Chains A and B, each alone.
Chain A
């Protein structure tokens, strides 16, 4: 089990009802974290257009998760 901080943005924040939370979960990759948070908050976005960052560095869904990491979950971006 790993204790991580998950931060939610835009639509994800509204679905979760909070900016961030600390979770103790069995996760080896960023995809595992995303799956766990979707189950937890009952949202249904596919990972396809979403992005993830770990400790303020852009990552991908296969990126490994370590104890103490901060995982940033970004819904599909829409700048401009």
Chain B
């Protein structure tokens, strides 16, 4: 059996984890954490920084996270996915700090015996991450001003 690196700070096996990082996300390296002889399918999602939002030209994005709860809520989401889709392995990494156009802001990877669960689990995890993790993004626009994404919309609906 292949030796598996063990992270003493994490209650889950190495492949089933969520991380926050200020470093560049490397999906080619990360997918290797999901190798499993019982897995016939791998699916992943990458969220990239794009150059416009709602008609405004975006220069860069700044992500802020409250790490303790982002990790615990992320672990809850991965546990839910594993309960829904047996034999699933899932790994997620989210960036924080200042990101440039084209940077990968979030990566979700899953492996499972068959493709259907892989697609569904990947979709479930990214959808839940986006609405549940305490992570915020501030857009810096080409014209010099900036704004928190969603917050303005929330204030308008008051």
Give A contacts to B, CB under 8 Å: 9-11, 44-46, 48-51, 53, 56, 58, 72, 74-80
Number of A-B contacts (CB under 8 A): 83
With A75-B136, A80-B47: A10-B148 Cβ-Cβ less than 8 Å: yes
Which 9 pairs of residues, A with B, have the shortest CB-CB distance?
A79-B135, A10-B136, A80-B130, A78-B149, A76-B150, A11-B151, A11-B148, A49-B154, A78-B150
User: Which of B129, B138, B151, B158 touches A79 (beta carbons < 8 Å)?
Assistant: B129
Interface positions of B (Cβ within 8 A of A): 47, 63-66, 68-70, 72-73, 94, 105-106, 126, 129-138, 148-151, 153-155, 157-158
**A79 with B94: in contact, given A9-B136, A51-B134 (CB under 8 Å)?**
yes
Separation of A51 and B70 alpha carbons in the complex (Å): 13
- Interface residues of A: mostly helix, strand, loop or mixed? loop
A49 to B132, CA, bound (A): 11
- Most B C-beta atoms less than 10 A away, residue of A10, A50, A74: A10
Q: Which residues of B contact A46 (CB under 8 A)?
A: 154, 157-158
Chain A residue at minimal CB-CB distance from B76: A58
CA distance A58 to B64 in the complex (A): 18
